[in-house]
Structure 1
Amino acid sequence: MKHENRSLGLVNYHSIQYFSRDLKSCVEWHKKTFGFEEIAQSSENWEKRHGMRSVVLRGAGSIGWIITEPIEKNSTAGRYLSTHPDGVAFLNFKVKNLKKTVEFLADKKAAFLYEIENHKSLNDGYWYETAIATALDDVGFRFIEESQYDQFAPGFKWINQEKNKHNSFGLDLGIDHVTCNGRSMHAITEFYRHCLGFEQYWGIEFHTNHHKPDLGTGSGLESIVMWDKESGIKFATNQPLAPYFNNSQIQIYVEDNRGSGVQHIAFGTKNIIDTVSKIRNKGAVFLEASDKYYEQLPARMSAMKLDKIKEPFNIIKENNILLDGSNSKYLLQIFMKEQSVQLQKKEAGPFFYEIIQREGDESFGEGNFKALFDSIEKQQVSENRQEMRERVDSLC
């Protein structure tokens, strides 16, 4: 029997669960680099039951950042990390009505990881949750309906329950988008379309040969952005592009991650210059745009009908911030280097973060997308891959 539910009922992100081999180092890096604060931790009973331990940070936009390490090899985190480097293992979403969400997913033949869990608290609060497998290999999606529940989550005790506290680095706008990589993009985007009811928002494809035609080799990618109109949640997905499929930075990510997965998460800010300055002062490193990018930027701004921006151009260039837009609306963004570089540990993996400031432009600017492509290619492809990995190993 088919139900009439036409929507997944997403509201927003509840939290991100990040699996790490070194809980302490990962927690301290996020606290130092982004000004995240510790708000909860797993209880002894939860740890004994699940064979894992977790610390929860108040992340961007007060979204929970759950850093989890395995205690036992056969735990969920242990099994994930036996295959993959550290990285995002669950995206957790708030929903309006979990019963209706489950009906919607069941109609789409989603693969549920477990039955609905019901939890009550002494103050008449409640917590309902379930989770599904996805087309992103070992990354799962969890759906949560809760009201006045007296813990961060079942089995997690509060350390600091203060809500909606201002982030000292200006990361108050939450998650702008999540980007994933896979060898076959449409296996992922069609999952979003069919199982989650998402629609296409944007798309692009290009190859090194498009702007370096004399180069005898190269890399390429194709990308599609899907979104949920009700919540505004957006997922970008990349796949390698022939004729040099195996040279693609996306293929390199899939090899390094040992499967498809979350490549990066973008944090929104109202003042990217201030945010980036604070992050850089904490020792974080960013991808660098080429000098040619900034030489060509004034002409690109003219073509985009972007007469002026409120940020000083020289400061934008000094900070390697990228600019895109159209018709007087623009966005500014910058990409951090991989966690394996940030933490100086190869097993920290190829996941990275992006910082973005939107001034009316809600697109995924083509010019910046190509600049990111060039920057990652400079790091991952143009250099000898083995030399790059040996350099990372030498930092460990």
Structure 2
Amino acid sequence: MLWLKELPFFAWDLNFPEDKHSKFHSHYSSNAEDGIQSFFAVRLATSNAKEMAAYLCHIFGFTEIATRDLENGNICVCSHVLRKDDVVFEVVGTLETRSDTSYTKAKDKFQISHPPEGNFIDLETKILNFLGGSEDLRQNVHEALQYNGIRKLIDELGKLNQPVVLSAIEEASMASKINEFVSLHGIGVIDVAFEVKNVRNLYSKAISAGATIINPPKLSRDLNGGVLIATVGSPISDIHHTLVEFLDYNGPYLPSYAPAKSHTVEDREFVLQGIDHCVQNYHFGELIPSTNFYMSAFGLHKFWSVDDKDISTSNSGLRSIVISNLNEKVLLPFNEPVESKMRGQIEEFYDYYGGPGIQHIALRTNNIIAMVRSLKSQGLEFNTISDEYYEALKQKLTLLKIELYEDFEELKSHHILADVDQSSLYHLQDGKLRSNYILQIFSKPIHDRPTLFFEIIQRYNHNGFGKGTFKGLYESIEEQQKLRGTLTPTELGRSHQIPQEFRELESI
């Protein structure tokens, strides 16, 4: 078996305790030299953006800060931008469903005479002529004309300028990508946006590493100032990454977004300190290619890793590698399954998601108990943890004589997991022994497919990922798989279930 310590990353071992890891990087500034500064926003795609935005506002207490819709000039894509404290979500959808059939019928029926001499040309050629005749745009124009909103622009060409038409075609292209994404995945994360130092440099680096071009670097301005924006795609999945470089912009979100009509801020007992990490799931053999791509494209480095020696049950297991930017504000874990007797959570994700993608978003808070209590009161459900886990945790804390700041029984009642860093023990003035630790919990999936869910995490000077909580969280998902009936035997598992004499008969 290939263990992660043998994987082709760095020559030195990065699996040291997290407090040492933090000290090792203590000289790093908040400005990462690899170009990526922080998470900017997470973009969710769904068939009903308004409904999903309302759901997130209700559950988490987000406030809608900006929109894009028919009322402010959009014709293909709608968007609702939500913020709570230091976390921003953008929920996107399409204003109509693309239909190749309806486009073909309309094109056959609706021929337009544009030149004075009465020569008939089709819609594609008319727009291409308006844009200067570049054949490079024909495919984009072809896709754009599958939307009624774009076809209606034909009658307005004389009143429009080229940038407006080009922007509309770009919007239609994005609508096509959203339609394809939602058709395959249902609800999911289509884009993880980063705030960066230099869009053009990082864009070039990503394209050279094999990223696909979604939108090349472009200066976008409105009355609030300007930003440089580019979007690239992963060659291994359909995840996009928008790169945002702020110039002199001071608007609510980005240029071309209208401020939301209502800015009601709901007071909650907790603060969202940021997006802690976004976890991607891949299939067998995809872990190394995917992490290598992200390291090459964005200048990220290996942060932490575990394999099935640490994260497994008697039924299934996984390997995981976490990569990070230099200031460690962006953490990206990557998972892949290992051969097991049962189909684990990664295989289940693939079955219902239809490919690789983001399994969950981790939100960092200053008060996990208050947050979980609040989210439960709004209807969000969480995975449960066995009593055996808390018995073992209590024994460990007692043996080490460590006291947590939270009440142990309250953590247990909410099924919150804890992992302490034993190498960071210290005494308070009152003589109590403390250590750095993390608290974590997984929600149940937020829609009917068992694909997308949230993690809530609180950190006490523990910047890593604890093996104890990782394993406990993995086991909590496996228990949900049992309830869903998706923890089913693999070929390996079926072979183990068949008596030897019958396997010999089958091979004859």
* TM bucket, shorter chain: 0.7 to 0.9
Structure 2 partner of 1:309: 404
The 5 A counterparts of 1:122-271 are 122=223, 125-135=225-235, 137-146=237-246, 147-150=248-251, 152-159=253-260, 168-183=268-283, 184-206=286-308, 212=314, 218-244=315-341, 247-271=343-367
Structure 2 partner of 1:18: 44
- Structure 2 residue aligned with 1:53, among 54, 78, 87? 78
Which one is further off, 36-45 or 366-375?
36-45
Structure 1 partner of 2:64: 38
Q: Deviations over 1:261-320 (max 9, x none)?
A: 1111111111111111111111110000111101111233356x4611111111010110
The 5 A counterparts of 1:297-376 are 297-301=393-397, 305=400, 307-326=402-421, 327=424, 328-340=435-447, 345-346=448-449, 350-376=451-477
Which one is further off, 187-196 or 287-296?
187-196
- In structure 2, distance between residues paired with 1:104 and 1:134: 13
Structure 2 partner of 1:390: none
1:94 lines up with 2:201 in the alignment: no
1:291 lines up with 2:391 in the alignment: no
Q: Deviations over 1:315-363 (max 9, x none)?
A: 01011000002131111111100012xxxx44xx510001111011112
Which one is further off, 133-142 or 98-107?
98-107
- In structure 2, distance between residues paired with 1:192 and 1:270: 30
Which one is further off, 292-301 or 176-185?
292-301
1:108 lines up with 2:209 in the alignment: yes
**SS of residue paired to 1:27:** helix
Structure 2 partner of 1:80: 181
RMSD of Structure 2 on Structure 1 (CA): 2.6
**SS of residue paired to 2:307:** strand
Aligned CA distance change for structure 1 residues 236 and 80 (closer, same or farther; 3 Å)? same
Give the TM-score normalised by structure 1: 0.85
Q: Deviations over 1:36-87 (max 9, x none)?
A: 0111110436531xx121111114x433211112223342211111111201
Aligned CA distance change for structure 1 residues 14 and 109 (closer, same or farther; 3 Å)? same
- In structure 2, distance between residues paired with 1:171 and 1:151: 20
**SS of residue paired to 1:372:** helix
Cα deviation for residue 161 of structure 1 reads 9.6
The AA in structure 2 aligned to 1:314 is E
**SS of residue paired to 2:50:** helix
**SS of residue paired to 2:370:** helix
The 5 A counterparts of 1:270-281 are 270-281=366-377
Which one is further off, 319-328 or 100-109?
100-109
Contact 1:35 1:169 in 2 (8 A): no
- In structure 1, distance between residues paired with 2:302 and 2:181: 30
Cα deviation for residue 188 of structure 1 reads 1.5
- In structure 1, distance between residues paired with 2:211 and 2:67: 30
Cα deviation for residue 114 of structure 1 reads 2.1
Cα deviation for residue 207 of structure 1 reads 6.5
**SS of residue paired to 2:273:** coil
Aligned CA distance change for structure 1 residues 31 and 194 (closer, same or farther; 3 Å)? same
**SS of residue paired to 2:457:** strand
Aligned CA distance change for structure 1 residues 208 and 109 (closer, same or farther; 3 Å)? closer
Give the TM-score normalised by structure 2: 0.67
Cα deviation for residue 110 of structure 1 reads 2.9
Structure 1 partner of 2:87: 63
- In structure 2, distance between residues paired with 1:368 and 1:276: 17
- In structure 1, distance between residues paired with 2:332 and 2:61: 25
Contact 2:191 2:241 in 1 (8 A): yes
Contact 2:311 2:471 in 1 (8 A): no
Unmatched tracts of structure 1, length 5 or more: 1-5, 213-217, 388-396
- In structure 1, distance between residues paired with 2:60 and 2:250: 27
Cα deviation for residue 151 of structure 1 reads 5.4
Which one is further off, 259-268 or 129-138?
129-138
Contact 1:34 1:169 in 2 (8 A): no
Contact 2:416 2:441 in 1 (8 A): yes
Q: Deviations over 1:73-108 (max 9, x none)?
A: 342211111111201100111111222222333443
**SS of residue paired to 1:356:** strand
Which one is further off, 166-175 or 272-281?
166-175
Cα deviation for residue 121 of structure 1 reads 2.6
The AA in structure 2 aligned to 1:228 is N
The AA in structure 2 aligned to 1:54 is S
Unmatched tracts of structure 2, length 5 or more: 1-31, 99-174, 425-434, 489-508
Which one is further off, 168-177 or 89-98?
168-177
**SS of residue paired to 1:47:** coil
Aligned CA distance change for structure 1 residues 185 and 169 (closer, same or farther; 3 Å)? farther
Cα deviation for residue 368 of structure 1 reads 0.7
- In structure 2, distance between residues paired with 1:227 and 1:167: 32
Question: How many residues are treated as equivalent by the alignment?
Answer: 364
The AA in structure 1 aligned to 2:410 is I
The AA in structure 1 aligned to 2:335 is N
- In structure 1, distance between residues paired with 2:90 and 2:311: 41
**SS of residue paired to 2:444:** coil
The AA in structure 2 aligned to 1:308 is E
- In structure 2, distance between residues paired with 1:137 and 1:25: 26
- In structure 2, distance between residues paired with 1:160 and 1:186: 46
Aligned CA distance change for structure 1 residues 219 and 381 (closer, same or farther; 3 Å)? farther
Structure 2 partner of 1:384: 485
Aligned CA distance change for structure 1 residues 241 and 230 (closer, same or farther; 3 Å)? same
Q: Deviations over 1:168-218 (max 9, x none)?
A: 252331111111101022221111112111111111122699654xxxxx1
Q: Deviations over 1:114-140 (max 9, x none)?
A: 2212122335x2121111111451110
**SS of residue paired to 1:173:** strand
- In structure 1, distance between residues paired with 2:487 and 2:302: 37
- In structure 2, distance between residues paired with 1:362 and 1:306: 22
Which one is further off, 7-16 or 277-286?
7-16
**Greater per-residue strand proportion:** 1
